[in-house]
Amino acid sequence: MNLPSAPPPIERVLFTAEQIEARIQEVAARISADFEGRELKLVAVLKGSVFFLTALARYITVPLRVDFLAISHFTNQPGAPGLVRIAKDLDDAIEGEHVLLVEDIVDTGFTTRYLLQNLAGRGPASLGICTLLDRTSRRIARIPVNYSCFEIPDRFVVGFGLDHKQLYRNLNCIAVIRPD
């Protein structure tokens, strides 16, 4: 039986589609200015960050390449320290390139720190981080976030690529969901 799916259990919308679009344009303008005269590669982690990468890339004006990798957590607990591995690697080398790691959210920072260390070992000309959401209140691993669109409170959020049990990535806003 094909029952209609339940509406998302949204408690509160943090950022509307219009607010997200406007903020992404601002951040893309800063990136374009900072990398003027150079080529840039955006690297995103599947699957959540893809939504942000494609939105951001459309407003960046310097020559741009994109590449993707996938990670898997050894436990169900995202952010458990050191318990991340690369499940699908980038297609191409990044040696000598200007690379921005595009993240959906930096929470404890463990995932981002692992990825930064891994990518830094490949000899890029520069390596930075651009995140849609930053939850600094839960940060444990100290990492430099070069570009951040929004700071968020310590509540679980979905939408614009972020999921709960693989659902709600397609919401065009970012929302807090009711705890189940």
For ligand IMP, which residue of 14, 28, 41, 109 counts as binding (CB under 6 A)?
Answer: 109
Residue 67: active-site member: no
**DSSP code string of 89-113:** --SS--TT-EEEEEEEEESSSHHHH
Do 157 and 174 form a contact (C-beta atoms < 8 A)?
yes
For ligand IMP, which residue of 14, 162, 174, 175 counts as binding (CB under 6 A)?
Answer: 162
Peptide bond into 41 cis (omega under 30): no
Candidate list 104, 107, 134, 163, residue with the active-site label: 107
Q: Does 146 bind ligand IMP (CB under 6 A)?
A: no
Query: In terms of CB distance, is 32 or 47 closer to ligand IMP?
Result: 47
Q: Which helix (H) or strand (E) holds 41?
A: strand 40-46
Do 61 and 34 form a contact (C-beta atoms < 8 A)?
no
Q: Does 156 bind ligand IMP (CB under 6 A)?
A: yes
Query: In terms of CB distance, is 97 or 104 closer to ligand IMP?
Result: 104
Query: In terms of CB distance, is 111 or 127 closer to ligand IMP?
Result: 111
- Give the separation between CA 56 and CA 26, rounded to whole angstroms: 10
Q: Does 43 bind ligand IMP (CB under 6 A)?
A: no
By annotation, the residues acting in catalysis are 107
